[in-house]
Structure 1
Amino acid sequence: MSEPSRRAVLRGAMGAGLGLAAAPVLAACGSGSSRAVTDGPVQVSLWTHDPGYIKTFRSAVGDDTLMHGSRFDYRMRFTNAAGSDVVTRMMAQAVADGNTPDLAGIIIDQFPRVMGSRIAENLFVDLTETVKPFGDELLKLAPYSVDGTPYGLDSDNSISVLYYRQDIFAEHRIPEDVETWQELADLGERLHDRHRISLSMVATGDNGSIVNGFLQFLLQRGGGVFDAAGELVLDSPEAVEVLEFMQRGVRTGFLMSLPDPYGSACAAALKSGRLAATVMPNWYNVYGLQANVPEQKGKWRIRTLPRFSGGGHAGSTLGGTAFCVLKDKPHTQAALELLRRVYLTREGQLLRYRSGGFLPTLSSLYEDAELRGITDDYLGGQRVFDVYGAAAADLPIFYQAQGLQILNDVLGGPMLLALQGKTSAAEAIRAGIRAYRQQVKR
């Protein structure tokens, strides 16, 4: 497809939501020559919301072992912006023929914005041939695929585990190896009744936090919100079961009701010891626990999630950020090679873990001797890949669709009512689906 016709498609697809009155201003930036750079010095531009990725790519281009044999001599130009702004500005610049990045880091909940109207197809390099040699070994392609075509590589496997205070579990004789959620819920109810201590949390603040918490449990239970074809599959017994489980947990105190997993209320609950366990992904270690309770170093541990007695998985997932290569730009070839070296090689994946704690997305690396030997001081010297490896071997697949953000908006309210005991779990699910169907005709 030619560049003018591509811009025409993007204008038609995105004009209503991008505020294109700004397009003439953006166009002044210009996109420069379209002649492809195939070797030699190259400056790759990267947009991201997280300084951790800036650190990672800066380290990568300076790593002689990782860059050995490359046709390119890399320099980087970074732009740091809010996650939603990265997508908004990238699409606006594409419409205006302005300066789009060569690599864009797109948060998982922002990717649905490019899944419709051929937006991803027109913006990003099709990674089918790039990932083909890895087969099933490459994890987490599904959330960044459109009609089976992958357009992004995730930076982190985002494996959800159970964080728990080992000292509090020992004090109150809570076994660390409880097999099922139902068993842990029974123990947690008694613990809360006697000591006002909870063993996980439920977000009751914004719609996104509410639905994300539900989704984390739902994926583990074996359910989902969309299938591989983008069809809504939320109307399921698993969805009702999970919401009833959360509803019961809030009512009995086993699950603590908090606005979100990151704010002051959660920090206070962690500091006081009233929140003695929680289900969150690997990155919560640094961004949640160490950020809020650094003084509790050595007291926390992780384990795989208790299973639902009705079935499901040993692990779950929440969050992620994929990097996409912008197509038909002078530095597209260089950006694609850089992404391949940093994301699809053992050396690149180890560098990403060392620089930012990003878990490998190549399944074989969970048996890698170097990673298996890593211990975490905050987690009491625990060998964390013993846990991550077991969870990675049994992770659910998360499918997204264009309407996911709409679903979050319409589902959060009914779910909050259910968690407050004002409606049933089944009715909350039905209400969310009805509202979604009214807005998305699919």
Structure 2
Amino acid sequence: MKKVMLSLSALLLAGSAAAQDLSGTITVWSWDAAAKALESTIPSFNKKYPNVTVKVEDLGNQNVYDRGLAGCAAGGQDMPDVYSIENNEAEVFWSRFPNCFVDLNTKGADKLVKNFPAFKWTELTAGNKRFAMPWDSGPVVMFYRRDLYQQAGVNPANIKTWDDFIAAGKKVNAKFNNNVKMATVANGQDDEWFRMLANQNGCFYFDNAAKAVTINQPGCVTALNTIKKLYDAQVVTTGDWGGQITNVKAGKTASAMFGAWYEGTIRTNAPDQKGKWGVYLMPASKAGGVRASNLGGSALAIPSSSKNQAAAYAFIENALATAGGQVTMLKSQGLVPSLLSATKDPYVKTAQPYWGNQAVWQTILGTLGDVPQARGTQYFQDARQVMIVVQADYIKGRYKTAKEALDDAAKKISSATGLPVAK
């Protein structure tokens, strides 16, 4: 027994010594709320590693991406110790600059794989290497105005499929004389609704092996058909990012479907609507179908040029691989955890006053394990630009069927990327 206790003491002392050994300064690049969220984890990190100084630099989203590309192209010059990267842009770096970032498996990330949902690793992995650790995620849900639904006689518990959603939208149209719509879609500006619905149906621009274009596969056809049905039924309106927020503030939209990070967007832009909003699962394409998807999400990576990689990894591990770190960021800035153990934190079950005292995080995070994997690849933006145009043209009636529209999109994406269209 004494030997066991001595061994345990030795391990604790060794761990403490290792913490003391980490010192110096690490710089973190991030943006906006994400930067503030990372700053909120510094106190807990410094309790473990008091000799490490962390400097979080808020450079703005586009600037972080642009400076990262420039730094990697220059062989790692002028790069931070910790780099924030959006999942759908990550593979641009792994493909163009395979030596720019540290394989986190060499730091211990391979032991953490099962701690995160599989879909979060898809775009962060190249071959046997893991170049970034999952940070926040964007599980998709439907945010809705409790008061508007109630006035129109709509019970969100009865909305289980997209057909149910359309039926509810017709009630909203009738009640508010078409002045309130069920949702605002960025048709012609973005294809985010298509991506959410395609992911829900197990389809995306490319296959998960990143070897073929799959945008014209059945799940994607169903997704595009659904959007057309929403427009044909006149239950949605059109608006860009700013227009969507304007409609929320003005009470002209009864719902908003987005990744869960939109919770903060609604809450901060419409503080006067406190208590009027709620959340329910996105409708399924058919009865009993999947009611989960993902839109957005980021990760943290370590540039190979970092002179303090051990401290950088310790910072990432504290922020992302501990429930304490992830929940701190959820409380601080509403960043949705990817870490599965964080879904069991008591805070997740806490009633949120803005959301009518609904425990919205329990509903939102409960979908993580159901999200199908999807891969943006290094060609994500190429495919997105094609699909924005094709979706808008299909809604206008320039294609006879969704399959015809997506066959055309597949050909254009194949031409732009050099990847074959899957058969």
Please classify the TM superposition score into its range, dividing by the shorter chain length. 0.7 to 0.9
Aligned to 2:296: 319
Matching of residue 359 in structure 1 with residue 336 in structure 2: yes
Alignment partners' CA distance in 2, 1:331 and 1:349: 23
Closer/same/farther in 2, CA of residues 403 and 254 from structure 1, 3 Å limit: same
Indicate whether 1:216 and 2:196 are aligned.
Answer: yes
Measured against aligned partners, the alpha-carbon deviations of 1:419-441 in whole angstroms (never above 9, x if no partner) come to: 22332322221121111111221
1:201 counterpart SS class:
strand
SS at match of 1:253: coil
TM-score using structure 1 length = 0.82
The separation in 2 between residues aligned to 1:311 and 1:434, in whole angstroms, is: 33
Shift of 1:294: 1.9
In 2 relative to 1, CA 157–90 (structure 1 residues): closer, same or farther, beyond 3 Å?
closer
Task: List runs of 5+ in structure 2 lacking aligned partners.
Answer: 1-18
Which of 205, 208, 226 aligns to 1:228? It is 208
- Residue 79 of structure 1: how far off its partner (Å): 2.9
In structure 2, how many angstroms separate the alpha carbons of the residues matched to 1:327 and 1:201?
43
Distance 1:434 1:193, change over 3 A: farther
TM superposition shift of 1:300: 0.3
Equivalent residue number for residue 55 of structure 1: 36
- Structure 2 Cα separation of the partners of residues 167 and 416 of structure 1: 32
The residue type paired with residue 94 of structure 2 is M
1:15-36 CA-to-partner distances (Å, cap 9, x unmatched) read xxxxxxxxxxxxxxxxxxxxxx
Q: Secondary structure at the match of 1:109?
A: helix
Q: CA, structure 1 residues 366+40, in 2 after alignment: closer, same or farther (shift >3 Å)?
A: closer
Match of 1:103 among 72, 77, 82: 82
Deviation at 1:303, TM superposition (A): 1.2
**Aligned equivalents of 1:68, 1:237: Cα separation in 2:** 52
* 1:199-249 deviations in Å (ceiling 9; x for gaps): 22321243xx2x222101111122222222103222211111111110121
Q: Distance between the aligned counterparts of 1:114 and 1:324, measured in 2?
A: 11
Deviation at 1:76, TM superposition (A): 2.4
Q: What secondary structure sits across from 2:296 in the alignment?
A: coil
Distance 1:83 1:268 in 2: 23
SS at structure 2 position matched to 1:47: strand
Partner of 2:150: 170
1:421 maps to which residue?
A: 397
* Structure 2 match to 1:113: 92
Task: Assess, with a 3 A threshold, how the Cα gap between structure 1 residues 311 and 126 changes in structure 2: closer, same or farther.
Answer: farther
Contact persistence 1:61–1:74 (CA under 8 A): no
* CA offset digits 1:163-205 (Å, max 9, x no partner): 1111111111111112211122123134325531322232124
Which of the residues 374, 380, 395 maps onto 1:404? 380
Distance in 2 of aligned mates of 1:251 and 1:147: 44
**Aligned mate of 2:230, from 249, 257, 264:** 249
Aligned mate of 2:320, from 343, 346, 354: 343
Whether 1:202 and 2:182 are equivalent positions in the alignment is: no
- Corresponding residue of 1:391: 367
Q: For residues 86 and 362 of structure 1, what CA distance do their matches in structure 2 show?
A: 24
State the 1:310 CA deviation: 6.6
Match of 1:43 among 13, 16, 25: 25
Secondary structure of 2:299's aligned partner = strand
Q: Does 1:183 align with 2:159?
A: no
Deviation at 1:123, TM superposition (A): 1.1
Secondary structure at the residue paired with 1:54? helix
Mapped contact 2:146–2:278 kept (Cα < 8 A): yes
Q: What is the alpha-carbon distance in structure 2 between the residues aligned to residue 322 and residue 169 of structure 1?
A: 36
Distance 2:198 2:105 in 1: 29
In structure 2, which of residues 40, 53, 59 is the aligned counterpart of residue 75 of structure 1?
Answer: 53
Separation (CA, whole Å) in 2 of partners of 1:111 and 1:393: 22
Asked whether 1:91 is paired with 2:69, we answer: yes
Query: Aligned partners of 2:69 and 2:378: how far apart in 1?
Result: 16
Q: CA offset at residue 311 of structure 1?
A: 6.3
Q: Secondary structure at the match of 2:95?
A: coil
Shift of the 59–269 alpha-carbon distance from structure 1 to 2, 3 Å rule, reads closer
In structure 1, runs of 5+ residues without a counterpart are 1-36
Change (3 A) 1:273 1:93: closer
Matching residue of 2:244: 266
- Quickly say closer, same or farther: Cα 1:274–1:328, change in 2 above 3 A: closer
Q: How many residues align?
A: 392
How far apart, CA to CA, are the structure 2 residues paired with 1:362 and 1:267?
29
1:274–1:329: structure 2 CA closer, same or farther, 3 Å change rule?
Answer: closer
TM-score by length of 2: 0.86
Residue 409 of structure 1, CA deviation? 1.6
Residue 301 of structure 1: how far off its partner (Å): 0.2
- Report if the CA contact (8 A) 2:22-2:51 is conserved: yes
Distance, in Å, in 1 between the alignment partners of 2:39 and 2:172 is 48
The amino acid across from 2:340 in the alignment is: S
- State the Cα deviation string for residues 150-175 of structure 1 (Å, max 9, x = none): 21223212111111111111111111
Q: Which amino acid aligns with 2:347?
A: L
The one-letter amino acid paired with 1:377 is P
